[in-house]
Structure 1
Amino acid sequence: MEHHDVVVVGAGLSGIGAACRLEQDRPGTPYVILERREAMGGTWDLFRYPGVRSDSDMYTLGYPFRPWQRPEAIASGEAIREYLHDTAAAYGVVDKVRFSTTVVAADWSEADARWTLTLRTPKGEERLSTSFLYLCAGYYDYERPHTPTWPGQEDFAGEVVHPQFWTDDIDHAGKRVVVIGSGATAVTLVPAMAQTATHVTMLQRSPTWVTIMSEGGLAPGISRVLPKRAAHAVNRQVSLALNTGFYQLSRRSPRAAAAYLRHGLRRALHGDEAALREHFTPRYNVWDQRLCVVPNADLFRAMRAGTASVVTDTIDRFVPEGIRLTSGRVLEADLIVTATGLRMLAGGGVAITLDGEPARIEDRFVYRGTLLSGIPNAAICIGYINASWTLRSDLATRYVLRLLDHMREHGLAVARPRTPTGLEERPLLDLSSGYVERADGMFPKQGTRDPWSLRPTYALDRATMLRGDVTTEMDFVPART
């Protein structure tokens, strides 16, 4: 059976980053990346809807070992996809990716100290083994988004599409469009589609907190003074400091954080207090859900131009000409886009067993936010919910490599986080967003003490992940001689 020291599942932002770190820090390690789709890029290859872009600045969403060189801080999906492909090529990992390969199941053999993976490929079912399994498949289902249904949906005379399944042949030019939703996808779609549509209406059940960011970066003047690499490093530190500071403010003084955001929104709305109260003042505290980023106030510019509008109401039913609201108003539409969110999926949906016995990851605690209690030689890549995903995914990878180095240096074959007893449970993702609440009970848990809790800030996390003791509350098995 084909064997690799490390198998990385997923060739998206996390998986490519993990492979690049392997090439840099452990050259010569036999590894392979298994990607279920036909291309690299993960999220940034899957999503092709109009205007798709990052909702984190690229100084922190990009890899620390490959600085973002373009002028814009909030990048388009195409630019991010190009960045990922260029990075994979530069570090020699492209040939390590095996496409159209889905990891269906992974079974650990205690006697052999290795995983056997069951794969679904174009050639049929295959198997390979690995000493260490690293799940970098993200956190949501690529095949099934969250798609609610409404009464009368079959009566609508136009087209209904979910952004996750957007294709190039969907034409919105000259059409009346209704986008259902208020999250990051909706605030991206509306101004992008408004450039060519007759009119675009964002229909939201309730408002979402929005922050307005300059497209040139949080410290744009620095980029004009310093060389590119130095400017990137400074912009990265400025972004980290501002994002961390605002998150801490939101947790400790939610009223002050809300007042700050309302100040920016009031300016973008040119003092329209009624619109501010009705459409842009949520019922929840700032950072109870993830912030939506509006670069250069493009959503508000489209609203002022009359090509876009926001309606806060609930849907009564679909009608042939569009959507009838609970208030009785009918929103006429030729195209309805259901930006209704994601369906979360832990570990890429891989069925994990230990010597044939199911090992449900939702029953496990995360160790250092990366390993799983009682599961040997395996890690799951989890990023931040309150900052750029890559900040933590890169730390997770570097921790995994530190653990592998420790095992090699001490002649160890197995590393297993010791299952804690009497540990108070907390949700892994501390958000009240709909997609998180719908996934309740599907993800591993965290505890309330180190090493079973997730650090809330990058600075604290970095110290633990890069310098913390890898043997704390761990069990090891020596390699056979």
Structure 2
Amino acid sequence: MVYAKDTPNFYDVIIIGAGISGINAACRLQTQSPYRTFTILEARNALGGTWDLFRYPGIRSDSDLYTFGFPFSPWTENRAIADGPSIKRYLMKTAAKYGIDKDIRYHHKLQSANWSTDEQCWSLRVDASGEEKHFRASFMVLGTGYYDYNSALPATIQGIDNFKGKVIHPQFWPEDLDYENQKIVIIGSGATAVTLLPNLTQKAAHVTMLQRSPTYVVSVPQWSLLAYWTRRLLPQGLACTVIRIAFFLLQWLYFKFCQAFPVRAKKGLRKHAAEQLPKGFPVDPSFQPSYNPWDQRLCVSPDGDFYQCLREGKADVVTARIKQVTETEILLEGSDKVLRPDIIITATGLKLIWAGGAKITVDGEPVKLADKHMWKGVMIQDVPNAALMMGYTNASWTLGADASAQFVTRLLNRMKKEGISQAVPRVEKGTVMKDLPILNLSSTYIVEGKGEMPKAGDRAPWLRRSFYLRDIWEAKFGDITQDMQFSRFSI
């Protein structure tokens, strides 16, 4: 029997998470399915997700804000790359503009969610500042991202516990950390390490980025002449659309070039690094990755700040494996070089987790996401009336999250029109389908977190996402019946 909708704490849609995915979904619901009631449950005390959690020096997006921002609330500054506090203010402004800020319940952490076929709704158990509360919803949107806010990816570093100085993970940066005139070693080579290096050199005595393997670091202008002149020449609304499309296409075309011509792309990136490194600084081994461009995300350096601090002698890069950490030193394998830092920063990656770690069940049976496929990159195999907001690895996260949100509103509108109460993706019996990773990167934290992630398939509608224009077309006009089981239950 369908659950009575006049029950307290019942909503048509409950959104989990008030980060960029959750705010996007709420805005789309409000404008495209205005008859649906919804609320947002946020575990922390503020909106913003990633952009409120991370506080390390220089925190910023490595995607341009013209595509990382919302299409319905365009980023209007001429700088393409923005710092974390600016992004947080942008999210707060957008939430207030659409009244979404009034629909957020802070300190509400989802503990478990169970779909009941008999009642045709989700029952959610929530920790609200230590008090257990219960919510019900016809549809659930998981805008929780894909990493654990409470713990980082553990790094196996021999002897790290012996170190007498400070050991810090960027995810839990101490607000009172004084690193002025300190010698710092950053362990890692990803986007976080590349961001930290130039920002820490502003106060530190010296900063070393110690990497096991190199990555591609690309200098990009922080301020966009394209955006500036487009806004000068075109009306504001049209200018924002043109800028967004241009930035998306430029990045997509470069990604396709790297995949089609990896050798030429590697040569170009090698030349790019050589031109910006200090005179006499060898490109090999520290700036010659073994993998092809876009097998892992390229690291962005706004205005070449990463290379600049190397040229100024404020920082250096060492490529080696750690042999042992002692009370005061880092010893390296196959090298006489010894690092003597005051502070070690372990920028070794994120710990992957889905749904914020909440227990998801269907009729009391646990759902193990790693055993499930994702339907069109939006819904989860065998899980009714639930969407998992996913972005891209080769483009801005928000593009994918917005395609998902627009699919959800379209599905909800169709369900209301046709009196459908349950929609659940199913892989038909006898289907022969090859399993593929849902995220097509070889980064260490993604490989190690494979057991936490749902899968993709090698046939529609289970293909992983890779191209925004195709996905947004699918969201608005594509077939939503293939491998989808609809049911109608009456009260």
TM class by shorter-chain length?
Answer: over 0.9
Work out the percentage of aligned pairs sharing the same amino acid.
Answer: 43
Q: Tell me what 1:306 maps to.
A: 313
Q: CA deviation at 1:152?
A: 2.8
The reply to whether residue 346 of structure 1 matches residue 340 of structure 2 is no
The reply to whether residue 361 of structure 1 matches residue 369 of structure 2 is yes
Aligned partner of residue 154 in structure 2, secondary structure: coil
Query: TM-score, with normalisation over the residues of structure 2?
Result: 0.95
Contact kept in structure 2, 1:106 and 1:351, CA below 8 Å: yes
Deviation string 1:122-173 (CA, Å, 9 cap, x unpaired) is 1421211100011010000001111314333233221110000002101111
Deviation string 1:284-329 (CA, Å, 9 cap, x unpaired) is 1111111111111101110111111111111111123231222132
Deviation string 1:224-258 (CA, Å, 9 cap, x unpaired) is 63355443322212211111111111222111211
The reply to whether residue 449 of structure 1 matches residue 467 of structure 2 is no
Q: CA deviation at 1:460?
A: 1.7
Q: CA deviation at 1:382?
A: 0.7
Aligned partner of residue 60 in structure 1, secondary structure: helix
Q: Tell me what 1:45 maps to.
A: 52
The reply to whether residue 465 of structure 1 matches residue 475 of structure 2 is yes
Q: Tell me what 2:123 maps to.
A: 116
The reply to whether residue 239 of structure 1 matches residue 239 of structure 2 is no
Aligned partner of residue 278 in structure 1, secondary structure: coil
Contact kept in structure 2, 1:222 and 1:231, CA below 8 Å: no
The reply to whether residue 258 of structure 1 matches residue 266 of structure 2 is yes
Counterpart of 1:370 in structure 2: which amino acid?
Answer: V
Q: CA deviation at 1:218?
A: 7.1
Aligned partner of residue 451 in structure 2, secondary structure: coil
Query: Alpha carbons of 1:300 and 1:331: their partners in 2 closer, same or farther (altered >3 Å)?
Result: same
* Matches for 1:51-66 after TM superposition, within 5 Å: 51-66=58-73
Q: Tell me what 2:410 maps to.
A: 402
Counterpart of 2:434 in structure 1: which amino acid?
Answer: E
Pick which of 182-191 and 327-336 moved more.
327-336
Which of 140, 144, 152 aligns to 1:145? It is 152
Q: Tell me what 1:24 maps to.
A: 31
Which of 80, 94, 97 aligns to 1:90? It is 97
Contact kept in structure 1, 2:78 and 2:225, CA below 8 Å: no
Contact kept in structure 1, 2:370 and 2:450, CA below 8 Å: no
Q: Tell me what 1:102 maps to.
A: 109
Aligned partner of residue 450 in structure 2, secondary structure: coil
Q: CA deviation at 1:470?
A: 1.6
Aligned partner of residue 8 in structure 1, secondary structure: strand
Deviation string 1:31-87 (CA, Å, 9 cap, x unpaired) is 110111111000000000000000100010000111101221110000000000101
Query: Alpha carbons of 1:271 and 1:448: their partners in 2 closer, same or farther (altered >3 Å)?
Result: farther
Q: Tell me what 1:158 maps to.
A: 165
The reply to whether residue 325 of structure 1 matches residue 332 of structure 2 is yes
Which of 440, 448, 451 aligns to 1:430? It is 440
Counterpart of 1:329 in structure 2: which amino acid?
Answer: K
Contact kept in structure 2, 1:36 and 1:101, CA below 8 Å: yes
Deviation string 1:424-447 (CA, Å, 9 cap, x unpaired) is 211111111001100122211111
Counterpart of 2:371 in structure 1: which amino acid?
Answer: D
Deviation string 1:75-108 (CA, Å, 9 cap, x unpaired) is 0000000000101000001111111111111111
Q: Tell me what 1:335 maps to.
A: 343
Q: CA deviation at 1:339?
A: 0.5
Query: Alpha carbons of 1:20 and 1:224: their partners in 2 closer, same or farther (altered >3 Å)?
Result: closer
Q: Tell me what 2:3 maps to.
A: none
Which of 140, 148, 164 aligns to 1:133? It is 140
Mapped to 2, the partners of 1:99 and 1:275 lie a distance apart of: 51
Counterpart of 1:179 in structure 2: which amino acid?
Answer: I
Q: Tell me what 1:186 maps to.
A: 193
Figure out how many residues of one structure are paired with residues of the other and give that number. Answer: 480
Mapped to 2, the partners of 1:450 and 1:183 lie a distance apart of: 33
Counterpart of 2:461 in structure 1: which amino acid?
Answer: P
Query: Alpha carbons of 1:113 and 1:100: their partners in 2 closer, same or farther (altered >3 Å)?
Result: same
Mapped to 1, the partners of 2:93 and 2:43 lie a distance apart of: 20
Mapped to 1, the partners of 2:425 and 2:375 lie a distance apart of: 7
Deviation string 1:365-409 (CA, Å, 9 cap, x unpaired) is 111100111111011011001110001100000001100000001
Query: TM-score, with normalisation over the residues of structure 1?
Result: 0.97
Mapped to 2, the partners of 1:330 and 1:103 lie a distance apart of: 47
Mapped to 1, the partners of 2:228 and 2:101 lie a distance apart of: 36
Pick which of 432-441 and 263-272 moved more.
263-272
Q: Tell me what 1:78 maps to.
A: 85
Mapped to 1, the partners of 2:318 and 2:250 lie a distance apart of: 32
Mapped to 2, the partners of 1:224 and 1:132 lie a distance apart of: 40
Counterpart of 1:125 in structure 2: which amino acid?
Answer: E
Query: Alpha carbons of 1:317 and 1:223: their partners in 2 closer, same or farther (altered >3 Å)?
Result: farther
Mapped to 1, the partners of 2:450 and 2:76 lie a distance apart of: 39
Counterpart of 1:175 in structure 2: which amino acid?
Answer: Q
Counterpart of 2:26 in structure 1: which amino acid?
Answer: A
Mapped to 1, the partners of 2:30 and 2:224 lie a distance apart of: 30
Q: Tell me what 2:9 maps to.
A: 2
5+ residue gaps, structure 1, are none
Mapped to 2, the partners of 1:228 and 1:49 lie a distance apart of: 34
Kindly report structure 1 stretches of 4+ aligned residues shifted beyond 6 Å: none
Query: Alpha carbons of 1:27 and 1:248: their partners in 2 closer, same or farther (altered >3 Å)?
Result: same
The CA RMSD over aligned residues, in Å, is 1.5
The reply to whether residue 287 of structure 1 matches residue 294 of structure 2 is yes
Aligned partner of residue 284 in structure 2, secondary structure: helix
Q: Tell me what 2:5 maps to.
A: none
